[in-house]
Structure 1
Amino acid sequence: MPGPILDLSAIVTCSHGGKATPVPVDARVLLSGKPAATQASIYAVAGCGFVPPGGNGPCVTGTIVVAAARVFASGIPVALQTSVTTCVPTGTPLIPIQTQTRVIGS
């Protein structure tokens, strides 16, 4: 499904409001001067508000499960706003709130 490509400046959170930052990003492919996030990027989550008494939380990392099918950065599919994602250990998705809008991938 087409969507804006995520870059380092995209605002992404876990489902519980924690801030997610991609590490590493592809520094060779820039979108308005910001490195692109790829399927290989692991999102580090900080400030997740989900702390259940029995475990399975808070969110620590997030991964891109399904990324772009036709757009690649250094041979790796780029992450899209519409990509399928999951957080560990909760299994909830990452939520891209704000992205660049100039470059669309599919």
Structure 2
Amino acid sequence: MSGSLLDAGAVIGCPHGGRATPATTPSGRLRVAGFAVATSAHTYVVAGCPHTVDGVPSPCVSVRWTAADTGVTADGAAVLLDTSAAQCVSAALVPQGPPVVQAAQRKVTVR
């Protein structure tokens, strides 16, 4: 698996236009361009999702990452790549589509 590392500065959104941010700022020791590398131990929350189902608001509220075993870890957890499998979910934990990674750290790649 290859892809670019996600870090605390990555621009990530839900498929409906909401913005995903780390619930807590990743603070690991591994840093790229000054930002902590995101790992499977970090959780992301979504704000500003306008998604509705049959006229009823059903916004994305979090992102659930499924970090593949790339063989690369940071602070004991698998690093997240822009190609890592993930789903944005509603408050009822209904999958609503994959997140959109608009910008990720391109200076380091994992192959």
- Distance in 1 between residues matched to 2:102 and 2:73, nearest whole Å: 22
C-alpha deviation, 1:53, in angstroms:
3.9
Q: Which runs of 5+ in 2 are unaligned?
A: none
C-alpha deviation, 1:26, in angstroms:
3.9
TM-score by length of 2: 0.85
- Distance in 2 between residues matched to 1:85 and 1:95, nearest whole Å: 10
Supply the AA of the counterpart residue of 1:4: S
Aligned residues: percent identity? 37
Supply the AA of the counterpart residue of 1:20: A
Which runs of at least 4 in structure 1 moved beyond 3 Å after TM superposition? 53-56
- Distance in 2 between residues matched to 1:18 and 1:67, nearest whole Å: 25
RMSD, matched Cα: 1.8
Larger gyration radius, structure 1 or structure 2: 2
Tell me if structure 2 keeps the 8 A contact 1:68–1:79: no
- The count of corresponding residues between Structure 1 and Structure 2 is 106
Q: Describe how 1:1-106 pairs up with structure 2 within 5 A.
A: 1-24=1-24, 25-53=26-54, 57-89=58-90, 90-91=94-95, 92-106=97-111
